[in-house]
Amino acid sequence: MKIEIWSDVACPWCYIGKRRFETALEAFPHKESVDVQWRSYQLDPTLPDHYDGTELSYLSERKGMDPAQVAGMFAHVTEQAAGEGLNYKFDDVVVANSFNAHQLLHLAKAHDKGDAVKEALLSAHFEHGVDIGSRAALVQIGTDVGLSATDINAALDTDKYADDVREDFAEARAIGVTGVPFFVIDRKYGISGAQPAEVFGQALDQAWQEANPLTMVAANGSDAEACGPDGCAI
C-alpha cells in the first residue's frame, strides 16, 4: 500500500499530522507492507531566502492576520503539538523559504533517508529555531542522518532536484490539494489535515481491506459443517 504525504517543512500542522499518522501506522497490522513517500508543497513560494522578522510578524504583516489572533493560534498549536510529544517554540522560529529544504528531501528520498530528513527538518524548524533556508543548516541536517556533504552541496549548487520539487507542487494542484498536510492512500483516498490517529487508522484498515479482499475457498467445491447465529449444522 502506497501512501503519499504532501507537506511543507514550514507547516506546524504537518509535524503534528506526521506524529498522529505514525501512531496509526505503528498499530496497523500490515505496516511492513506500507510504502510512505513524502511529497513537496510550499505554503508561501514568494518568501525570500531569509525574512527579517518573527513568525508572528510574518503572519500579521504578510498575511494580514490580527496579531492577537496569531498569538492565540500559536498557543493552540503549541498545545496540540505537546499532546504529540513535540515542543514547539514559535518565538524562536526562523522564517525562511523552504524550497532548498525540499530539494534536500528529494536527495534524501533517493538514498532511502526521506523520513529521517523530514523529521529532522521539522524538529529543527519548530523545536530548535534552526534556519532551514541556510545552506550550512541543511548540510548539517543531512549529514547528521548519513547523507554526504558533497552530495548535498552538489545538489543545491546545481538545483538537481528543483524540477522534482516543482513536479510535486504541480501534482498537488492537479489532484486538488489546497492545504497541507494531505495524505493520499493508493491514489484512491485523500485525507486532509492533521486528523486524529483513529481517523488515519480507520482509513488504513479500509484501504487495506479493499485492496486485499478475502477470497473464500471451499474444499472439493462444497461447504463443510459450521455453526452460525441460528445453531449448528447436524
The pTM for the full model equals: 0.90
Neighbours of 89 (CB within 10 A): 13
Residue 217 lies in a domain: no
Residue 224 lies in a domain: no
Neighbours of 155 (CB within 10 A): 23
pLDDT digits (tens, 9 = 90+) for 50-99: 788 999 999 998 888 899 999 999 999 999 999 999 999 999 999 999 99
pLDDT digits (tens, 9 = 90+) for 139-194: 999 999 999 999 999 999 999 999 999 999 999 999 999 999 999 999 999 999 99
- Read off the CATH number of the domain in which 118 is found: 3.40.30.10
* DSSP type of residue 123: H
Residue 204 lies in a domain: yes
The order of strands in the sheet holding 35-40 is 35-40, 2-7, 182-185, 189-192
- CA pair distance 204, 135, nearest whole angstrom: 37
Name the band, by pLDDT with cuts 50, 70 and 90, for residue 115. Answer: very high
Q: What is the pLDDT of residue 214?
A: 64
Q: What is the pLDDT of residue 213?
A: 81
Residue 96 lies in a domain: yes
pLDDT digits (tens, 9 = 90+) for 187-200: 999 999 999 999 99
pLDDT digits (tens, 9 = 90+) for 122-144: 999 999 999 999 999 999 999 99
Residue 226 lies in a domain: no
Q: What is the pLDDT of residue 64?
A: 87
Residue 165 lies in a domain: yes
Report how far Cα 232 is from the mean position of its chain's Cα atoms: 50
Class of residue 215 by CB neighbours under 10 A (exposed 0-12, middle 13-18, buried 19+): exposed
Q: What is the pLDDT of residue 49?
A: 82
Residue 234 lies in a domain: no
For the chain, the domain total comes to 1
Angstrom CA distances, 202 to 27, 130, 183, 199, stand at: 11, 35, 13, 5
**Cell numbers at residue 168, please?**
510535486
Class of residue 231 by CB neighbours under 10 A (exposed 0-12, middle 13-18, buried 19+): exposed
Residue 7 lies in a domain: yes
> ω before 48 within 30° of 0 (cis)?
no
pLDDT for residue 217 is more than 80: no
For residue 170, what are the domain limits? 2-211
**Cell numbers at residue 70, please?**
496569531
Looking only at Cα atoms, what is the longest distance across the chain?
A: 82
Pick the residue with more confidence: 52 or 231?
A: 52
Work out the mean pLDDT of the chain and round it to a whole number. 92
pLDDT digits (tens, 9 = 90+) for 15-34: 999 999 999 999 999 999 99
